[in-house]
């Protein structure tokens, strides 16, 4: 009986560890996607601001 119980507990712990690793990997992937999206948005905002300022500067210089 003890061998069966230990076998079941090992199987349960293996399943729990696999599920935890999958959850952790998915969580890290989700965080990476969020960070990348924020970085892309910040880069686009900076580019939009810099190009807007350059166009304004060119417009004032041309006038």
- Residue 28: other Cβ atoms inside 10 A: 10
Q: Is residue 50 part of a domain?
A: no
Angle (CA) 45 31 22, round 5°: 155
Q: Which pLDDT score is estimated for 8?
A: 79
Domain count, the chain: 1
- List the structure tokens of 61: 């210089």
Positions of the chain with pLDDT under 70: 1-7, 52-63
- List the structure tokens of 28: 């890290």
Instruction: Provide the 8-state DSSP code for 63.
Output: -
Q: Which pLDDT score is estimated for 51?
A: 84
Q: Is residue 1 part of a domain?
A: no
Q: Is residue 5 part of a domain?
A: no
Q: Is residue 27 part of a domain?
A: yes
Structural domain that includes position 28: 14-41
User: CA 10 to CA 28: how far, in whole Å?
Assistant: 26
Q: Is residue 26 part of a domain?
A: yes
Q: Is residue 25 part of a domain?
A: yes
């Amino acid at each position: 009986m003890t061998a069966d119980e230990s076998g079941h507990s090992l199987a349960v712990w293996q399943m729990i560890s696999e599920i935890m690793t999958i959850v952790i990997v998915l969580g890290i992937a989700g965080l990476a996607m969020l960070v990348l999206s924020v970085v892309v948005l910040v880069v686009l905002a900076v580019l939009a601001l810099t190009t807007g300022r350059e166009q304004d500067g060119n417009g004032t210089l041309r006038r």
